[in-house]
Every structure is written in structure tokens, then in C-alpha cells.
Copies of this chain bind each other. A is one copy, B any other.
Amino acid sequence: MCSKKDDNIQEIVKQKFTEYLTAMRYRKTPERYAILNLIYTDPRHFDMETLYEAMTKSNFRVSRATLYNTMQLLVDCNLVIKHQFGKNLSVYERAYNNDLHHHLICTNCHKIQEYKGYFLTGAIQRERMKRFKPTHYNLYIYGLCNICARELKKQQNLNKK
């Protein structure tokens, strides 16, 4: 499942993490690298529970406390993006070498789709802000997915009768 290119990414992010830990004088523990490694093996969005179970199944079990601690570090050094799409549940995804995409969130069924709008991406990246050094951004577009839009239209028609 891991191509040569993916292996390279594993190495690159490991190195970036090392640089960060060194710069901040944090310790380079095997737990931290094991977590980073697992995250960059699976490309999907994930939440804490999923990650915790995946770590447990792998040969490297870590406590929830360590997971939260490490995720904070990874977010701080821009290797992981943390989303909160409502529901008080954090959803994470890789930040490095992740194809740029936005998120379409259905306000009715709460399903999340990824959306690649290259024109939009360019526009955002070209934007220059005073007094702020942007590193990354999240664009959440709320609305109705085609299924819910159809469903609600049907309902409204019934109400009119």
C-alpha cells in the first residue's frame, strides 16, 4: 500500500518532527514517532478514538494522554491539521503533502465531502494580510448535499399542500 513516494514522505515528516522537537528542546520518544508514523500511513481523516484503537492494534500501544499530548505537538509544528466540524469531536488529518482540499459540510445530515477548487485555492494563497503570517487555512463550506436538498424540497412541497 505504501509506494516509494510515501516512504519518502514518512522520512521527510520524521525529519521535520525531529527538527521541531530539537528546536523546542522536547524529547524524542518512540511513542511520538510511532504516532506520527501511523498518521502518515493512513491518509484519511480520523478522530482520537480511531487513532487510539489503531495504535492499540499496532505493535505500539500508547495512552490517551500521550496521544493528546503528541497531537498537540504535531499541530503546533504544522504536520497535522485539527478540524472541528461541530459535534465537539476533533477530526485530524495530515498536513504535509496532503492534496489541498476544502470541506463541504451538509447542515442537514452533517456528512463531509472533500472538494478541490484549484482556482479558489490560488486566490486564497495569493491573498496577503497585514500583521499576520499565514501558515495554513481551512475553508468550510456549509450547505445542503444533493440528497438532503432533494429530500427537503420534497418535504416543503408536502407542507404547501
Interface size class of A (residues with CB under 8 A): 35 or more
Residue A115 at the B interface, CB < 8 A? yes
CB-CB < 8 A to A140: which residues of B?
Answer: 137-140
The listed residue with most B CB atoms (<10 A of its CB), out of A85, A120, A149, is A120
CB-CB < 8 A to A5: which residues of B?
Answer: none
A23/B156 contact (C-beta < 8 A), A119-B123, A149-B133 known: yes
Q: Which 8 A-B pairs have the closest CB atoms?
A: A84-B84, A134-B143, A123-B123, A131-B146, A137-B141, A135-B143, A133-B144, A138-B140
Q: Which residues of A are at the interface with B, using a C-beta cutoff of 8 A?
A: 23, 75-76, 82, 84-86, 88, 90, 104, 106-107, 113, 115, 117, 119-120, 123-124, 127, 129, 131-146, 149, 156, 159
